[in-house]
Amino acid sequence: MSALLKLSDLIDGLNRFIGRWVIWLILASTAISAVNAVIRKAFNYSSNAFLEVQWYLFAASFMMAAGYTLLNNEHVRIDVVVGRFSKRVQTWLDVFGFTVFLLPLCGVVLYLGVPFFLQGLRSGEMSSNAGGLIMWPVYLMIPVGFSLLLLQGISELIKRIAFLMGLIDDPTKKAETKSAEEELAEAIRLQAEQAARKA
C-alpha cells in the first residue's frame, strides 16, 4: 500500500502543479477578450479567431483543472443526504462512486476522445467560421483533461482505501489555511502597523 500512496502523492503533485498554472489561461482569455473589444470599437475590425482563441483557452482551463478540482474536493456534490452519514460510510460511497462511475466514465471518454483528436489532427480540420482556427488543439483537451481526471480519481480511490484501512488521516479534511484574500489583508495590516511605528 505504501507504493500506491507514493503513486497517489505523485498524481496529486502533478494535478496541483497544473492547477496552479492553468489559472493563467483565464487571465489570457480575459485579456484577449478586452483587446478584441478595444480593436472592434476603435478600429471597427474583428475576427472569429479572437473569439475562438478565448473559447479554446477557457476549454483548456476547464478541462485541465478537472483533476485539480477533484484533488481539492471542490467538485459538485450532493451532501444533503450523504452529509448525515458517518465518515466511514461517506468514504465507502466515494469508493463506490469512483469505481462504478468516475473511472469507467473517464475510460469511455478517453476511448472515444483519443481517436476523435487524432482524426482532427490528421485532417487539419478548421473551424467552419470565417477566419476560424484549426480544431485539433481544442480536441486535444478532451484526452488531456480526462486523463488528468482519471489519474486523480485513481489517487483519490487509493487515499480512500488507505483511510478505511486506518493508514492515513481523512483525505477529505481541508487544511485550515488562510485564503489568498486573507493573506493579502494580513500583509496590508502588517505594513500599516510597520508604517505607524516608523511615524
Q: In this predicted model, what pLDDT tens digit does every residue of 98-137 receive, in sequence order?
A: 999 999 999 999 999 999 999 999 998 888 887 778 889 9
First to last CA, the chain: 59
> Please, what is the Cα angle at 153 between 149 and 156, to 5 degrees?
135
Range of the domain at 57: 2-198
Residue 18 contacts residue 67 (beta carbons within 8 Å):
yes
Per-residue pLDDT band at 187 (split at 50, 70, 90): confident
Looking at residue 46, what is its pLDDT? 77
pLDDT band at 188 (very low <50, low <70, confident <90, very high): confident
User: For the whole model, what pTM was predicted?
Assistant: 0.80
User: In whole numbers, what is the pLDDT of the chain averaged over residues?
Assistant: 88
What is the predicted pLDDT for the residue at 65? 93
Q: Are 19 and 68 in contact (CB under 8 A)?
A: yes
**Least confident span in 36-50, 70-84, 86-100, 147-161:** 70-84
Which tens digit of pLDDT belongs to each residue from 68-100?
A: 999 988 877 777 777 788 889 888 999 999 999
Q: Considering only the C-alpha atoms of the chain, give the largest distance between any 2 of them, rounded to a whole number of Å.
A: 69
Burial of 163 (0-12, 13-18, 19+ CB in 10 A): buried
User: Count of residues for the chain?
Assistant: 199
CA distance 39 to 54: 15
The answer to whether residue 176 scores a pLDDT higher than 70 is: no
For residues 171 and 160, the answer to whether their CB atoms sit within 8 Å is yes
What band does 175 get if pLDDT is binned at 50, 70 and 90? low
| Count of domains for the chain | 1
Say if residues 154 and 103 touch (Cβ distance below 8 Å): yes
